[in-house]
Structure 1
């Protein structure tokens, strides 16, 4: 990436993508960060949870405790995993759309590509959540899914990115979060009234029960339902802001400064907003979106500095192998029993150890098999994309 000084009169971050000749060059830090995030989904989190109470080390027990979702309000590191992926999707989308425009693709063509991708991800999400899908009993299908949420967020964000500059996108995302906040506090829910943020009485749950077809994960609401899609897509819009910073022909020091400022401001606003609109992953509250966006900016900054600025890259290969095939491993966990294979291959090695440790080593073996599987695909240059 070229580090070219910018004109001192240029307003930082205000130049629209179309006039700043953004780069589409892939950054290793983005693939590594995606791989780090997917690793937590693909077994690392479960492995850490199994360590709780076994080592006698308080720090490990605390880390293990971070891989549980709070019952309602509150926050743990586990809540950050999916928002981080939505944010990374926005960062990657910036590079992808820039590449498309550099190749001469028109806006309608790019719209069609991301729309088709959205439909495929929605269908794959339904398959993942319901396999085997009860096709002839649509009322028994859960339609909310991680993949569907990513597909919808990236399509809407494509429309926003290709038509609005940096500050307008920021304004759109903030307006969405404010309107969502107002809706939950001002729109009355039948039987509960307005401003009820309890599990039973909130607007999100009522909206899911009233308008969402099929089954709801939590029965009275679905954390991947209809209404929460609106604030969730702001994470992907914020990701395009980070992506635009990284594509600018700026000195690395300026990129670092801008990412740091964005992260600190977002995180601070999220904590302040929490005083009235609690941080809540189930509701995807506005404070939750800003908190996780701030954390995502800062996490991306860390990976970018270490990998692409300081060029300390050898360690990143482990995560890159996962990040380049994130969809593959997400689906593989639904159809391949890595733990069963781990037990078959490695149980003889850990059999002499205390029985309480057997699940730990079984999970570690499964994690190892996941990486080897992805490494084989990497060496064969097989990368599954949608």
Structure 2
């Protein structure tokens, strides 16, 4: 059962979880598609290094809802012989990872000094990224939960978060082990992958979706799985909402306490950051269950259900379409530039123009998702 198939099962039983998935994708598109990266409102930016913004909550929540969906699918996976299980999980992992790598390579060419198009060298394309992290976290979480169930999930989560702290502290450079250029995650990724295959948006070769920082991010998926199983056992009840609220508040408090010695940092995916994001996931999920399942306020949910039914496909589409818009020449600008300048910068201040561009683009992707839903087109990854 693919991640999107899991979502269909999930949506039939627990609408709040599917809406949560859709909300996550909607906000992910907004923060990834501004009109101008230099004109952002603060909540729509990632923290520069240490710290936390609403935007820093989105990607770990995507991992969390992957775990939610797995909580419905693992029963079928657990019934498989180990050989069949590994074939299914490895196939899905490779597919999602490959799609992520192809997105990094898109549009597959660069311009040389003479302005001529030359094919990108595949060896120099960034290896890791958002989908690649989802693939790796899915792979390891599935294996852990297949062999050890919830008990091993708890043990691994605690061990991973506790061990990641001394790994960064003792293998980073003394004096400032959590700095951009001196942390252990950077050193590990450089040693294993090489600078040419890492993200360079921070000014140096450093990958926020690197190999070492994948270890604690697996806990976000397992956390989503454990919460999904708890909701299935307890049902959509007031008691469940209370449990989620208490758990969320405790995790947030623990995160800020840990932050005093192990800073909350999305780009390093620190253990305190994991606790904080899972804590907020529990609070938001509690609110959604209360509104949708208990109070039965469902007249607003379809918008986000559309995103929840084709989540990974729409994420890929959102990435590709905006890049294509930027490649199509229109006079002295591009289709993207014409759209942005004509509809937004011509009458809005820079930050509003940038924000409303991203909002309109999110609605464009929603319309494509709505059409796909009407036509019963569901692309599985």
- Normalised to the residue count of structure 2, the TM-score between the two structures is 0.81
- In structure 2, the residue corresponding to 1:164 is in which secondary structure? helix
What is the CA distance between 1:341 and its match in structure 2? 6.7
The residue aligned with 2:99 is 124
Change in 2 beyond 3 A, CA 1:49/1:37:
farther
1:196 matched to 2:181 = no
Alignment of 1:172 with 2:167, yes or no, is no
Determine which of 125, 131, 134 is the counterpart of 1:141: 125
Match of 2:306 in 1: 321
Count of matched residue pairs: 349
For 2:263 and 2:357, locate their aligned partners in 1 and report how far apart those are by CA, in whole Å. 38
Higher alpha-carbon deviation: 153-162 or 81-90: 153-162
1:74/1:353 CA distance change after superposition, 3 Å: closer
Distance 1:162 1:362, change over 3 A: closer
* Pick aligned residue for 2:207 from 214, 222, 238: 222
Other structure's SS at 2:148 match = coil
Structure 2 CA distance for partners of 1:106 and 1:334, relative to 1, 3 Å: same
Q: Does 1:83 align with 2:60?
A: yes
Structure 1 residue runs without a partner (length 5+): 1-22, 53-60
- Measured in 2, the distance between the counterparts of 1:291 and 1:351 equals 36
Deviation at 1:216, TM superposition (A): 1.4
Deviations along 1:78-136, one digit per CA (max 9) or x if unpaired, are 111100000111011111223555xx544543332122111111111100112134787
Question: What does residue 33 of structure 1 align with?
Answer: 20
1:303-322 maps to which residues of 2 (within 5 A)?
A: 303-322=288-307
- Structure 2, gaps ≥5 residues long: 1-8, 110-118, 327-333
Corresponding residue of 1:92 = 69
Residues 35 and 354 in structure 2, CA contact (< 8 A), matched pair in contact too = no
Q: Distance in 2 between matches of 1:274 and 1:352?
A: 43
Partner of 2:244: 259
User: Contact between 1:94 and 1:243, CA under 8 Å: does it hold in 2?
Assistant: yes
Q: Report Cα offsets for 1:50-85 as digits up to 9, x if no partner.
A: 9x8xxxxxxxx9xx3111112211111111110000
Q: Give the TM-score, by structure 1 length.
A: 0.80
Considering fraction of residues, name the structure with more helix.
Answer: 2
**CA-CA distance at 1:309 after TM superposition:** 2.2
1:46-61 to 2 correspondence within 5 Å? none
Distance 1:297 1:71 in 2: 25
In structure 2, C-alpha distance between the alignment counterparts of 1:140 and 1:345, rounded to whole Å: 32
Q: CA deviation at 1:364?
A: 4.2
What is the rounded CA distance, in whole Å, between the counterparts of 1:346 and 1:193 in structure 2? 47
Distance 1:346 1:156, change over 3 A: closer
Instruction: State the match for 1:369 in structure 2.
Output: 364
